[in-house]
């Protein structure tokens, strides 16, 4: 089972940008430009902010490079901006850094680094990161193979995803992993899931 290492949609970047009401001006102007599909202007507005260390602008600019919108597609530049935002705790960027390492996009493939960054995003309750981390534990990619850990993260992912294709993929993965486990192991995974949720309330 390989992790589904995919970038988050750019809409996520825009939602994050809109949530940052404390940062007005060029960031919001870039969001407006993005919505107009004026990606060049969005890139021009976000670049200085990203260079000054604004994590949302860094993530948003990385998304433009990843998709080739308003700038030439450049996976290494995308990774650079995602990594800068990730190092500031931006969960979406942490996810994309993990996805980049998992797929070898813009950086050398490294499953251990992928798992590390997925864990950072998963600990911020990002369901797709939890899903990928669960798959990595199930397969022993970048982490020791551990079905209890796998089931814990997959159950957390399922709880955080809306109904749809991704949730069905997680449900299938849960069935596959649980089929290899004892009742005691399954109970242990569910206990860890509850403890994780309780610790974040």
Packing angle of the helix pair 111-122, 127-139 (nearest 10 deg):
140
CA dist 177 and 186 (Å) reads 10
Cα–Cα dist 88/94, whole Å: 9
Q: Residue 14's pLDDT is what?
A: 43
Summarised one tens digit per residue, pLDDT across range 30-48 is 888 988 999 999 999 999 9
pLDDT (tens digit per residue) in 55-105: 999 999 999 999 999 999 999 999 999 999 999 999 999 999 999 999 999
Contact 30, 161 (CB under 8 A): no
Q: Contact 92/82 with Cβ under 8 angstroms? A: no
Chain Cα centroid distance, residue 172? 20
Domain-by-domain residue ranges, the chain? Answer: 10-199
pTM greater than 0.85: yes
Quick one: pLDDT at residue 40?
Answer: 95
Mind listing the pLDDT tens digit for each residue in 143-201? 999 999 999 999 999 998 888 888 899 999 999 999 999 999 999 999 999 998 888 77
d(CA 183, CA 84) in angstroms, rounded, equals 43
User: Is 62:54 a contact under the CB 8 Å cutoff?
Assistant: no
The proportion of the chain whose per-residue pLDDT surpasses 70, expressed as a percent, equals: 88
Tell me the per-residue pLDDT of 96-108, one tens digit each, with 9 for 90 and over: 999 999 999 999 9
| Strand extents, DSSP E, the chain | none
What is the token pair recorded at 152?
């814990």
pLDDT of residue 4: 43
Which residues, 6 or more positions from 188, have their beta carbon under 8 angstroms from its beta carbon?
Answer: 148
Cβ-Cβ contacts under 8 Å for 173 (sequence gap 6 or more): 1, 131, 134, 135, 138, 154
Q: Greater confidence, 12 or 25?
A: 25
pLDDT tier at 24 (50, 70, 90 boundaries)?
A: low
Class level of CATH domain 10-199: mainly alpha
Contact 100, 70 (CB under 8 A): no
Average pLDDT over residues 17-35: 70
Q: What would the pLDDT profile of 113-136 be if each residue is shown by its tens digit?
A: 999 999 999 999 999 999 999 999
Return the DSSP state at 158: H
């Amino acid at each position: 089972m390989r992790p589904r290492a995919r970038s988050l949609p750019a809409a996520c970047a825009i939602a994050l940008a809109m949530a940052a009401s404390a940062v007005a001006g060029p960031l919001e102007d870039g969001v407006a430009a993005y919505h107009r599909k004026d990606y060049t202007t969005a890139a021009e507005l976000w670049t200085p902010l990203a260079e000054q260390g604004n994590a949302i602008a860094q993530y948003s600019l990385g998304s433009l490079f990843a998709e080739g919108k308003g700038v030439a597609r450049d996976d290494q530049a995308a990774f650079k901006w995602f990594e800068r935002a990730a190092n500031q705790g931006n969960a979406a960027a942490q996810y994309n850094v993990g996805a980049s390492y998992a797929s070898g996009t813009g950086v050398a493939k490294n499953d251990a680094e992928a798992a590390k960054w997925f864990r950072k995003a998963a600990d911020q309750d990002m369901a797709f990161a939890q899903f990928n981390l669960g798959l990595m534990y199930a397969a022993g990619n970048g982490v020791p193979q551990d079905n209890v850990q796998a089931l814990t993260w997959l159950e957390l992912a399922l709880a955080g995803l809306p109904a749809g294709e991704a949730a069905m993929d997680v449900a299938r993965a849960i069935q596959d992993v649980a089929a290899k486990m004892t009742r005691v192991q399954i109970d242990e995974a569910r206990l860890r899931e509850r403890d994780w949720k309780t610790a974040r309330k």
